[in-house]
Amino acid sequence: MKQIFALLKHLMKCPDLFDSSIEIVSPPFVHESVGEWNWQTNGEQHWNLWVCLEGKAVIECDGVEYPVQPWTAFLFSAGSKLVGRSLAVAKSIRNFSIHISLGAENARLLKGRLLGIELHEPNNVNSLINLAIRLSAYPDSFAQQQLQSLTLSMIGILWRESIQPVQTDAAWLIYRQLDRIHAGQDMFRTVDELASEVNLSRIHYGRCFRQLTNESPNRYLILKRVERACVLLTQTNWGIDAVARSIGYNDIYFFSRQFRRVKGCSPSQYRDAAGK
């Protein structure tokens, strides 16, 4: 889960979130609201992560109205006064909700920022919600840790959307590529392949990519490959040639040169320094 926020910080140049402060207060649930409803968290210290799944509504939070449709999300802060009403065309709405404690630093950072966020990754969020609901049925501590991690993932998606909404189709596609690269999937592809997927020339693609990451596509891919190599060097007994091949390098000497440029030492020296 720390990797998620590290990526957000790198891409958006924003302050970091403090994941160690976040705790689950009550299990997640899916609720149906009919007509008009209201609630208030006055006096309570927990926050409410809330995502609309079906229907349309309007929610007023602390005097400000927000239109709600499927995949509109909120992180209601402690003490919020909330009033909602379903619209006539949809007399009820279904929503996902989970109550959490954020800690003082996160509360200060997120206060009033994650309200009425239109999510552009509904499939990802839906998968996280479904898994969170399933995990809530297990009382063991490991399931609770997994549930905390999933909740952090959802907050991370809201955080990214709130800081820098996607402005163009090309930017949105590049963000999706960045997600896959960070997950270790697309780091083996060439820049030409990535540019073609976004339907841009290599030059135009490079310009857009740099605007989003402050790095050229080639440099970004190299950094991610070396980052993956570092994990393999410290957590496996693979030979240097096997590590190189696993991240897309057939030439071990070329891999070693690029590794040295990034880390300032050879792969073998890096492994020795890590005590592996």
Q: Which helix (H) or strand (E) holds 67?
A: strand 64-68
Give the model's pLDDT for residue 266: 93
Instruction: Give 17-43 pLDDT, tens digit per residue.
Output: 555 567 888 889 998 888 777 766 555
Q: Output helix, strand, coil percentages for the chain, rounded to the nearest 5.
A: 50, 20, 30
Instruction: Give 195-230 pLDDT, tens digit per residue.
Output: 998 888 898 999 889 888 888 999 999 999 999 999
- Going from the C-alpha of 73 to that of each of 43, 118, 142, 186, the distances in angstroms are 23, 6, 27, 29
pLDDT bin (cut points 50, 70, 90) of residue 74 is very high
Better-scored residue on pLDDT, 128 or 2: 128
The Cβ of residue 93 has, within 10 Å, a number of other Cβ atoms equal to: 25
CA torsion, ordered 194, 199, 203, 206, to nearest 10 deg: -50
Better-scored residue on pLDDT, 224 or 13: 224
The answer to whether 103 and 51 have CB atoms below 8 angstroms apart is: no
The answer to whether 55 and 70 have CB atoms below 8 angstroms apart is: yes
pLDDT bin (cut points 50, 70, 90) of residue 95 is very high
Q: Which of 179, 153, 16 is nearest to 98 (CA)?
A: 153
pLDDT bin (cut points 50, 70, 90) of residue 2 is very low
The Cβ of residue 5 has, within 10 Å, a number of other Cβ atoms equal to: 20
Tell me the two tokens of residue 239. Answer: 């030979």
Residue 155 has pLDDT above 60, yes or no: yes
Give the model's pLDDT for residue 92: 80
Contacts 24+ apart (CB under 8 A), 124-133: 124/157, 125/51, 125/71, 125/73, 125/154, 125/157, 128/153, 128/154, 129/28, 129/51, 129/53, 129/96, 129/154, 132/28, 132/98, 133/28, 133/29, 133/30, 133/96
Cα–Cα distance, 9 to 15 (Å, whole number): 7
Q: Is the pTM of this model over 0.75?
A: no
